[in-house]
Amino acid sequence: TLTADVSRSTTGVNKTQFGDIVEDINHSVEGGLDANLVRNSTMKENGVSSWSAVTSGGGAGTIALDTTRPLNSANGNALKLSITANARGQRVGVANSGFYGIGLAPSTRYTTTFFARSDGPFRGGLTVDLESDTGTVYAKAPVHSVNSTWTKYSLTMTTAANTPVSTANRFVISADGVGAGSSLYFDVVTCQPPTYHDTGLRKDLMDKLAATRPGFFRIPGGNYLEGNTLSTRFDWKTTIGPIENRPGHQNDAWGYWSTDQAGIKSYLDMAEQTGSQPLLAVFAGYTLDHTVVPRDQLAPYVQDALDEIQYAIGSPHTTWGAKRAADGHPAPYDVRYVEIGNEDWFDGTGSYNSYRFPMFHDAIKAAYPQLQLVASASVSSRSVDVIDDHYYSGDTSYFTNAAHTYDGTSRNGPKHLVGEYATTNGSNDNPTGTLAGAISEAAFMTGMVRNADVVVGASYAPALADVNNFQWPTNEIAFDAAMSFGSPSYWVQHIFGNNTGDYVVSSSLTGADAAVNEVVTRTASGTVYVTVANPTNSPVTSQIRLNGTTSVRPNGTATVLTGDPNARNSITAPNTIAPTTAAFTASSSFAYTFPANSVVALKVNTS
Ligand code: AHR
């Protein structure tokens, strides 16, 4: 029997109850959220990797890295095309193979920008096109002249209606009739389809994230914030302003180059455009190679964090607020939480407790007393608003067994953010997990919602992974250059995000296996959600009693996620595990059968 007293709420559900981490791991951002299809757009990733020369009809030329005449001080590497034969009809150009292919779709408008210059006897013109790897052109646009001064070119082209949705494509800039002996130089090359609310972010990925109705984005999360060294940390100041002025950095936490073309402002926009809050993570003086910034050298990093917060929420009349306004966003963003570092327990020297957290804490609280500060490791030297707990386990029972973790948490200490958690049972060829892992996470989530008074929010981690190159085994959403899919864990996030009310209602479940967990919530207007995770191999028929209401309307809706517990989704079978919805008849006491291996959210209207 599942009994809920819908007239008695135990606590409010937080706006930030369910969120996402944004960490550039698995090409989540570079080659993922950043909608630029062109890889190595600034020629800083292993010279001119991802680029090749294309020739046909007798055209000839070679490519090389050129550093002789930099575009600017941030971007000094150029792609040089030396043309040795290029009479009319003789094609010679440069091709980019993208992030494991270039994803194209039919009848879609692509916007390209790049910087170019020439030397030698440049005549003729250039053509930019999107074509298959075998040379079938789907979209093209002309560039009529190039001269010896670095110039920015912007153009658009639309793919033909018969363009197949595929990744087996390349981006090409080619010359026709230029003649032999001239050279062309390119830098900061971009090509993108329409993006999510014009944020520059890949639409299908953002649509999927937005559909879970996240309350916050932890930006940027994880090891990516720290980097292996001080010079490869996430240095937010180098990620703002025109993209050609951003130097980029080696993402040595995860092993690839980041152009930072999707920088801190993109992250802030991501949160705003999805109606969620940015949970801003600031670098706290510790890097993954175990460098700890000494106390007497930490002040500039504290100032950097203050500047970052000012960029996010300062008035446009402040130094960094003005830069935000110049970057196109005069209004402050809605930041309420700032996290100091990431997993700073790895430091091992005690510096986080002894001086790093205190220095950041005191400076931020003095300037922004309204902010809630999140500690990334336990701290006794200051009173802590929120502590960030991380949980990963390959065991599909782990999170079911952890469903009551926060039941006994002190209500007098810090609140908790579960900034990272996941059942890590992805496979070698698929960076997403099984239904069993997802049901286990759902059980844990019932406990986090029941304890919403101490758990301010939770973000499954990581959010995104490229199926062709992933560093972390199990992720919420996976993608290639053309397609994406949600894992069973994604659908659990989706179910909770779309089926949780404003208040937690007191409930109990008796007579069922202890592994079956429930949470009941209601909205202010009387919609009740009964959410149950059943990880057992048996269906559970339960009598559901909704006490404390005189009026239960019969038109209930059940959202059900169930299937083979070992099943997972993939690019070729994206919907093996996906929720279904069905009507059922509700009353103040009704029977419902929760299928074996399921997560179910029942929506009942009361008044
Ligand atoms: O999410 C993957 C990694 O797990 C994060 O970078 C780190 O914070 C955690 O250890």
The answer to whether the peptide bond before residue 462 is cis (omega within 30 degrees of 0) is: yes
Give tens-digit pLDDT for 158-206: 999 999 999 999 999 999 888 889 999 999 999 999 999 999 999 999 9
This prediction's pTM: 0.98
Residue 65 amino acid letter: L
Mean pLDDT confidence for 65-70:
98
Decide: 226 in ligand 1 pocket, CB within 6 A: no
> What is the fold, at CATH topology level, of the domain defined by 18-35+207-498?
TIM Barrel (3.20.20)
Residue 591, classified by CB atoms within 10 Å of its CB into exposed (0-12), middle (13-18) or buried (19+), is: exposed
Q: Which residue has the tokens 């990963």?
A: 392
Structure tokens at 422: 């996941």
Pick the atom of ligand 1 nearest to 392's CA.
Answer: 4
DSSP 3-state of 605: strand
Question: What atom in ligand 1 is closest to the CA of residue 390?
Answer: 9
Say which residues have a Cβ less than 8 Å from residue 152's Cβ, sequence separation at least 6.
113, 114, 115, 244
d(Cα 241, Cα 99) in Å, to the nearest integer? 24
SS3 letters across 393-407: ECCCCHHHHCCCCCC
The C-alpha atoms of residue 438 and residue 525 are separated, in whole angstroms, by 30
3-state secondary structure 150-192: CEEEEEEEECCCCCCCECCEEEEEEEECCCCCCEEEEEEEEEE
Residue nearest to atom 5 of ligand 1 (CA): 222
Closest C-alpha to ligand 1, atom 4: 222
- 462 in ligand 1 pocket by Cβ < 6 Å? yes
The tokens for 345 are 């327990």
- How many angstroms is it from 21 CA to the middle of ligand 1? 10
Ligand 1 in reach of 28 Cβ (< 6 A):
no
Can you tell me which atom of ligand 1 is nearest the CA of 253? 6
Mutate to test the pocket of ligand 1, among 25, 346, 388, 459 (most ligand atoms within 8 A of CB): 25
What tokens does 561 get? 């996620």
Confidence tier at 594 by pLDDT (50, 70, 90) = very high
Decide whether any atom of ligand 1 lies within 6 Å of the 223 Cβ: yes
Cα–Cα distances in Å, from 346 out to 299, 357, 365, 394, 560?
A: 21, 14, 25, 21, 40
Kindly tell me the sign of the dihedral angle through the C-alpha atoms of 588, 582, 496, 517: positive
Best residue among 26, 223, 345, 388 to mutate for probing ligand 1, ranked by most atoms within 8 Å of CB: 223
The answer on pLDDT for 125 being more than 90 is no
Per-residue pLDDT, 177: 87
Query: Which of the 8 DSSP states describes residue 352?
Result: I
- Residue 124 — very low, low, confident or very high, per pLDDT cuts 50/70/90? confident
pLDDT of residue 123: 78
Q: Report the candidate in 145, 153, 90 with the shortest Cα–Cα distance to residue 122.
A: 145
Q: Name the closest-CA residue to atom 7, ligand 1.
A: 222
ipTM exceeds 0.85, yes or no: yes
Q: Quick check: CB of 487 below 6 Å from ligand 1?
A: no
Of 392, 460, 474, best ligand 1 pocket probe by most atoms within 8 Å of the beta carbon: 392
Q: Coil, strand or helix: which one is 421?
A: strand
Closest residue to atom 9 of ligand 1, CA basis: 222
State the Cα–Cα distance between residues 252 and 231, nearest whole angstrom. Answer: 10
- Assigned CATH for 2-12+502-605: 2.60.40.1180
Amino acid at 273: Q
The two beta strands, 78-85 and 183-192, are antiparallel
Tell me the CA end-to-end span of the chain in Å, nearest whole number. Answer: 23
Cβ of 452 closer than 6 Å to ligand 1, yes or no, is: no
Residue 82 above 80 pLDDT?
Answer: yes
Distance 460 CA to ligand 1 centre (A): 11
Residue 484 forms beta bridges with which residues? 479
Query: In this structure, what token pair is assigned to residue 433?
Result: 């997990």
For a pLDDT cut of 90, what percent of the chain falls above it? 96
What 3-state class would DSSP assign to 475?
coil
> Which protein residue's CA is at the shortest distance from atom 8 of ligand 1?
222
Gap between the Cα atoms of 373 and 359, Å rounded? 12
pLDDT average, residue stretch 302-308? 99
**Of all atoms in ligand 1, which is nearest to the CA of residue 419?**
8
List CB contacts of 198: < 8 A, sequence separation 6 or more. Answer: none
In ligand 1, the atom with minimum distance to the C-alpha of 23 is 6
The number of the ligand 1 atom at minimal distance from the alpha carbon of 343 is 8
| pLDDT in the model for residue 38 | 98
Q: What is the pLDDT of residues 443-467, one digit of tens each?
A: 999 999 999 999 999 999 999 999 9
Closest approach atom of ligand 1 to CA 461:
1
Pocket perturbation via mutation, ligand 1, pick of 279, 417, 472, 489 by most ligand atoms within 8 A of CB? 472
Residue 251 phi, psi dihedral angles, 5° rounding: -80, 80
pLDDT, residue 120, reads 77
Q: How far apart are CA 605 and CA 266, in angstroms?
A: 39
Residue spans of the domains in the chain: they are 2-12+502-605, 18-35+207-498, 51-192
Phi, psi of 182 (to 5 degrees): -100, 165
Distance 525 CA to ligand 1 centre (A): 39
Residue 538 has phi, psi (to 5 degrees) of -120, 145
CA–CA distances in Å: residue 400 to residues 34, 151, 445, 447, 532: 35, 58, 9, 9, 12
Query: To test ligand 1's pocket by mutation, which of 23, 29, 286, 391 has the most ligand atoms within 8 angstroms of CB?
Result: 23
Q: Is the pLDDT confidence value at 121 over 80?
A: no
What's the whole-number mean pLDDT along residues 110-117? 97
20 CB near ligand 1 (under 6 Å):
no
How many whole angstroms from its chain centre is CA 568? 21
Residue 333: per-residue pLDDT: 98
- The predicted-structure confidence for 362-418, as pLDDT tens digits, reads as follows 999 999 999 999 999 999 999 999 999 999 999 999 999 999 999 999 999 999 999
Q: Angle at the Cα of 550 (from 544 to 556), degrees rounded to 5?
A: 50
* Pairing of the two strands 517-522 and 415-423: unpaired
Percent of the chain with pLDDT over 70: 100
Give dist(CA 317, CA 248) in Å, integer. 28
DSSP β-ladder status, 109-119 and 183-192: antiparallel
223 C-alpha to ligand 1 centroid (Å):
6
Q: Which CATH number fits domain 51-192: 1.10.3720.10, 2.60.120.260, 3.40.50.970, 3.30.365.10?
A: 2.60.120.260
| Cβ neighbours of 429 (radius 10 Å) | 7
Name the residue among 85, 106, 96 with its Cα closest to residue 128: 96
Question: What is the average pLDDT value for the chain, to the nearest integer?
Answer: 97
Pairing of strands 555-562, 484-486: unpaired
23 in ligand 1 pocket by Cβ < 6 Å? yes
**With a 6 A CB cut-off, is 472 part of the ligand 1 pocket?**
yes
Are domains 2-12+502-605 and 18-35+207-498 of this chain identical in fold? no
Instruction: Please report which confidence band the pLDDT of residue 550 belongs to, taking 50, 70 and 90 as the band edges.
Output: confident
Question: Is 342 touching ligand 1 by the criterion CB < 6 Å?
Answer: yes
Instruction: Give nearest CA residue, ligand 1 atom 3.
Output: 222
pLDDT for 146-157, tens place per residue?
Answer: 999 999 999 999
| Residue 343 CB less than 6 A away from ligand 1 | yes
pLDDT tops 80 at residue 80:
yes
